Amino acid sequence: MASKKIFGIVLAGGEGKRLMPLTADRAKPAVPFGGTYRLIDFALSNLINSGLTQIVVLTQYKSHSLDRHVAETWRLSGLLNAYVASVPAQQRLGKRWFSGSADAILQSLNLINDEKPDIVVVVGADHVYRMDFSQMIDAHIESGSGVTVAAIRQPISLANQFGVIQTGVRKPTSIQKFLEKPANPKGLADSPDEVLASMGNYVFDTQALIDAVVADAELPDSKHDMGGDIIPAFVKAGNAAVYDLNRNDVPGATDRDRFYWRDVGTIDSFFEAHQDLISALPVFNLYNRQWPIYTQQLNSPPAKLVRDAHGNNGSMTDSIVSLGSLISGARIERSVIGPWSTIESNAVVTDSVLFDRVTVHANTVVARAILDKNVVIEEGARVGVDHEHDRSRGFTVTDSGITVVGKGERVAP
């Protein structure tokens, strides 16, 4: 990475309405993922692994668990002024909260002014991926643009789900158009069936970012959004470049997960991202020691899989079981089990995600379900088997048939 002073900003104030009820009591970046992680751990791990040592996390919505996780997990040495700091909305510009991601940066310009960096890296806090930002920073400096937008190749059939980037013919790293969820975009010159979708990660020249958010604040019709307002303004001015994730070489990456990126903004995508973790050759590999994903390591005993009192064997196939969990004579298939969970005799858990401290009592069935923290499935109960019955009990059931049980619920037979 070039010898510039780099400052990192993680936008973590999102409410995450499409992930309800998982976000009923916590901010979206604080939602547990993969057993022991929180969603924000992926953004922070990528920044730390990339060599950034001064990072702030801008929070707002129901941020207590997120602020606590950052404070307890991401403590860097105070030597050399290295830190990861959670910064809640402070109403520095009047009695109002953040009105968008660009406004969040506007109201936090004191953080930038204190550090006086040359370059600011701005990332979202709710995507699952690996990326070496030092390589993107070098590409940004080389481009000479005010902003560089990270992009990943996606099938053209999915273009209506993303902000799509169209580049110049003579200068393929220059952004010519930024299209929000287009119906009929052009494919890439070297791959007509693909488009470049914005990943929500940006590298800015510091003064260019400051000027942009200050100017945006004066526009009465702006939503003050980074992707919807700030980036299009840079594109209109001819001052935006794109960084194709295909150029990024993360140490330890496999051919299978090298360019993995998933926006887990819906229950379905959140569930599918968990399924990407559990196969023998996972689509996303949590076991890359050269580019680790860091999180809080609680003082917990190993997970244990044992016979029950009647001598029935427990079994586990294509699953992740976190520390502190006890499986006694139960069958687990294609599932992720969070820390300190208990699954008892003759219970069957398939294609499911359990958060921490979930209890599944004996003779139960849990299928295609997400069980939030401290959920108790009482003996003989069924979840995810009869969707109409699940809905009648107040549980969320998606169109694809995933049942979600909120934090602390007890599920009766």
Instruction: For residues 32 and 86, give the distance between their C-alpha atoms in angstroms, rounded to a whole number.
Output: 18
Instruction: For residues 313 and 346, give the distance between their C-alpha atoms in angstroms, rounded to a whole number.
Output: 9
Residues 6+ apart with CB under 8 A from 188: 153, 194, 195, 196
The three-class DSSP label of residue 28 is helix
Tell me the per-residue pLDDT of 131-185, one tens digit each, with 9 for 90 and over: 999 999 999 999 999 999 999 999 998 888 888 998 877 777 889 888 888 888 8
Radius of gyration of the CA atoms of the chain, in A = 22
Which ranges constitute the DSSP H helices of 96-242?
101-106, 109-115, 133-143, 206-217, 231-236
- Please indicate, yes or no, whether the overall pTM of this predicted structure exceeds 0.85: yes
CB-based contact 260:245 (threshold 8 Å): no
Asked if the domains 6-275 and 304-411 are classified in one and the same CATH topology, the answer is: no
Give binding residues for alpha-D-glucose 1-phosphate as ranges: 163, 180-181, 198
Give binding residues as ranges: 163, 180-181, 198
Architecture of domain 6-275: Alpha-Beta Complex (3.90)
Instruction: For residues 27 and 404, give the distance between their C-alpha atoms in angstroms, rounded to a whole number.
Output: 17
What's the pLDDT score for residue 163? 87
Q: Which of 155, 279, 33 is nearest to 43 (CA)?
A: 33
Instruction: For residues 187 and 196, give the distance between their C-alpha atoms in angstroms, rounded to a whole number.
Output: 9
Q: Which of 45, 207, 233, 13 is nearest to 112 (CA)?
A: 207
Sign of CA pseudo-dihedral 96, 99, 101, 107: negative
N-to-C CA span, the chain: 58
Instruction: For residues 148 and 283, give the distance between their C-alpha atoms in angstroms, rounded to a whole number.
Output: 27
What's the pLDDT score for residue 127? 93
What's the pLDDT score for residue 78? 67
**DSSP assignments along 242-272, one per residue:** EEEGGG---TT--TTTTT-EEE--SHHHHHH
Which parts of the chain register pLDDT below 70? 1-2, 77-79, 91-95, 97
What's the pLDDT score for residue 21? 94
CATH topology of domain 304-411: UDP N-Acetylglucosamine Acyltransferase; domain 1 (2.160.10)
Domain residue extents for the chain:
6-275, 304-411
CB-based contact 351:334 (threshold 8 Å): yes
